[in-house]
A and B are shown apart, each in its own frame.
Chain A
Amino acid sequence: MTTTTGNETATSTVQGGRDATSAGREPVLEIKDFSVVYRTSGGDVHAVDKVDLALHPGEVVGLAGESGSGKSTLAYGACRLLRPPAAITGGSVVYRGRRLARPVEILGRHPEELRELRWREIAIVFQSAMNALNPVLRVRDQLLDVVEAHLHLSKEEATERIGSLLDLVSIPRARLKSYPHELSGGMRQRVMIAMALATDPEVVIMDEPTTALDVVVQRDILAEIVELKQELGFAVLFITHDLSLLLELADRVAVMYAGRLVETGSSDEMHHDAAHPYTKGLLNSFPSLRGPRRDLAGIPGSPPDLRGLPPGCPFLTRCAYGTEACSRVDMQLLPVAGSPDPTHVTACPFVLPSTPLKAFVAPQASGAPVAPQVGA
């Protein structure tokens, strides 16, 4: 917990970790073939459909996608935090913690047993700090609550513990007396992070933790998260729609579209050699501050209705490379041909990283949404 241990050691382990990730060690959280539906009167909404995702110790995995793509549902579902009408319809989620004797299948556990796992082992930083903190309780009481419920400490120990938690996220201890509305947005978000880290969890899920913040504050907080991660060694699942942020922050990036994973790979690979048309579209939709001005294309249209998707690729209606063959694709994640990164997989069997960018041609008003030809 000491902040004084040299930064160099931390950095080197993590860099070692970066290379070692996904190679030999077993993932701390392994999601396999995971599906969630929302049962509505209009039919089942397939919010997450057969997703595989692994999180290795000390790794930052970024989960990117538009709103409604199922990224939060996936993360919350894996912790079984969803309420009806959501229902988990299949798959497995295995957690392997250092503190636990053997791996735990989260989906098969009794709800009471999950209490020991949640927060202690897997903590979540929720999206909106404004709403996630209790407005009528002081910061101190909210932090004490967590520490007392999960760590069973004495009063003095607990008080000392929450003080050091605030130190960790660089908030003066005097702020323990404050109510949430007396803190700035950035400070509130820091308190949320401190709360998540209160029990020294091994997996921290961060759901758009910085979306509501200014860039300067955002960068501050991200730098802090990375630093804490190196110090404490937890793994992070970072959810956001801002791909540019992920590419800089994460070790690996997974892109979701319409409830499915469409591409995963190391962030370097995803940045320079993205294979899936959707990832390419995302990469080409944010203005860059540095380098020459590029022509931005964006992604036309909006995501499909997740009730009764047609077979094949769900991105077809918005894809510049779409052909008839796309409606028969089975959305298997396959290794990208010629990629130096063996973990780089894509759901599109037709488009390669080298396929040149192409503008989307809107389909004829009534006809089937099939664009003319595949890019060379």
Chain B
Amino acid sequence: MADTHAEGEHEHFAGSNKLFFSVWVWLLLLTGLEVFLGYVHLDFRLMLTILIGLSIIKAALIVAYFMHLRFERLSLVLTLVPMLVVCICLLLVFFPDSFRSKDQRYRFESSTQQQTEQSEH
């Protein structure tokens, strides 16, 4: 963290070309792994978890090194990242409703089937 600089100075450690190149290679390797996993027959939920996990690692690499956030002040990181994570997690409250609407549709269909069967008798 470049805290020791004088006020108003925006210089900070920028990282070397070698570092950026190795980050790029890592991103390509993780992408290759994702494409490979796309063709492995796994349980859908496990697959979703692994793919999102790998994508979060890739996003973190991009934000930390390409977007320089690792070399910025900690106060900036704390201003930007936690609120974003909390807001995205809050969006997950919709999923119980998503599963419920699927169950409801099946129940509705089966109950109408029963009714038609009863009226036929």
A binds B: no
A residues whose Cβ falls under 8 Å from a Cβ of B: none
B residues whose Cβ falls under 8 Å from a Cβ of A: none
